[in-house]
């Protein structure tokens, strides 16, 4: 019986862990930051940026990896206005970028465990990123859709 339990826990630990995290949207100092802060305080818009975090099971990869999709210039006032109004980001700003970066540890708040990945989740995320359309449309094709 104990061998069976040991085998089951070993299998679970050998899979990459997948998380979803949310952070507050950011804006440059000045009018854009004031606008975003006011909207957030009044709950006018759910101003959160969502991202996927993969914690690889491999001992060679000790850091978690973040994958997310955001505007090319997320702190631009016109991007903030488009996000708040629910309109498309202006064509000149309408390109999104898929970002990848490493984290030393998982966020302590607003980070939820989603499950275990079958196979190499990092490779699968890179494959997904190669097919993701970068035409950014807030509320239609944005970080929430990317994370889902």
Q: What is the DSSP letter of 93?
A: G
Where are the domains positioned within the chain?
Answer: 17-147
Name the phi and psi angles at 15, rounded to 5.
-105, 145
Q: Tens digits of per-residue pLDDT, 111-133?
A: 999 999 988 999 999 999 999 98
Written as six digits, the tokens of 99 are 């970002």
Q: How many Cβ atoms from other residues are within 10 Å of residue 146's Cβ?
A: 21
pLDDT at 28 over 60: no
What pTM did the predictor assign? 0.73
Residue 98: C-alpha distances to residues 30, 85, 108 (Å) = 27, 23, 23
Query: In DSSP terms, which residues pair with 101 in a beta bridge?
Result: 66
Rounded Cα–Cα distance for residues 30 and 42 (Å)? 18
44-53, 77-86, 94-103, 107-116: least confidently modelled range = 77-86
**Strands in 1-148 per DSSP E:** 17-24, 48-55, 64-71, 96-103, 111-116
Output the CA torsion sign for 130, 133, 137, 139: negative
């Amino acid at each position: 019986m104990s061998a069976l339990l040991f085998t089951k826990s070993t299998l679970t630990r050998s899979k990459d862990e997948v998380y979803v995290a949310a952070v507050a949207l950011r804006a440059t100092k000045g009018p854009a930051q004031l606008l975003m802060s006011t909207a957030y305080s009044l709950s006018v818009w759910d101003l959160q940026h969502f991202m996927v975090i993969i914690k690889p099971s491999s001992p060679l990869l000790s850091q978690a990896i973040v994958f997310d999709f955001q505007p090319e210039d997320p702190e631009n006032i016109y991007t903030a206005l488009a996000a708040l109004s629910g309109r498309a980001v202006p064509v000149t700003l309408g390109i999104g970028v898929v970002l990848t970066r490493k984290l030393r540890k998982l966020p302590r708040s607003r980070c939820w465990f989603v499950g275990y990945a079958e196979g190499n989740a990092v490779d699968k995320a890179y494959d997904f990123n190669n097919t993701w359309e970068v035409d950014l449309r807030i509320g239609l094709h944005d970080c929430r859709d990317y994370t889902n």
